[in-house]
A = this chain, B = another copy of it.
């Protein structure tokens, strides 16, 4: 049952405006996107923005939630659905190459790139994104460790180190996407990275 509303109804669609804000933040980053940029992109005036979304930081937090749900799910899906650690990590890297260069979207990953050069005033946002990156590495570590325990990987495999390597490659791929690298180039980076997989011979492919 929808809650009935007393006063004047808002004249814009909240989800549409949020999506516009998402694109703006994704394209230009947290600090670089000003309230004026946001109101222009969202098609509303500043007081409407503040009434509907709170302040800039709160809006960004909501944007990140939507981003993770809509565009960041591929990592979790790959880790959950693939039968082996190797195929899971390979798919993460392969799909990242596609996701980071999808036409019609800003290149790269918002979580990786939106708050790199943040001022001390934005420390909370920076820290939140850093925490999410760390969570991703943790998820990779767990999946790899499970693979080791399942006997897919040598027992002496350092799961955390391998996961950190994969995280670094993802960050590098996102940066290169923002620098203009195309899908094929990133797929080549992903394929090369997979050659570092334990037990991998030189003739293996992704």
Contacts and interface: CB of A to CB of B under 8 A. Distances in A.
A192 B89 CA distance: 14
Interface residues of A, number: 49
Contacts of A113: 116-117
Contact of A175 (B116, B161, B193, B197): B116
A32 B120 CA distance: 9
B195 A30 contact: no
A167 B154 CA distance: 28
- This protein's copies in its complex: 2
A4 to B, nearest CB: 43
Nearest to A201: B201
Contacts of A29: 116-117
Interface in A19-54: 28-32
B176 A192 contact: no
A80 interface: no
Interface in A147-196: 154, 158, 161-162, 164-165, 167-173, 175-176, 178-181, 185, 188-189, 192-196
Given A32-B119, A168-B169, A168-B173, 10 more contacts: A134-B179, A161-B185, A161-B189, A164-B188, A165-B189, A168-B175, A193-B193, A195-B195, A198-B202, A201-B201
A56 interface: no
Which 9 residue pairs of A and B lie closest in terms of their CB atoms, listed nearest first? A168-B172, A29-B117, A172-B172, A116-B116, A195-B196, A165-B192, A196-B196, A161-B188, A171-B172
A130 interface: yes
Contacts of A31: 31-32, 117
Contact of A189 (B117, B154, B168): B168
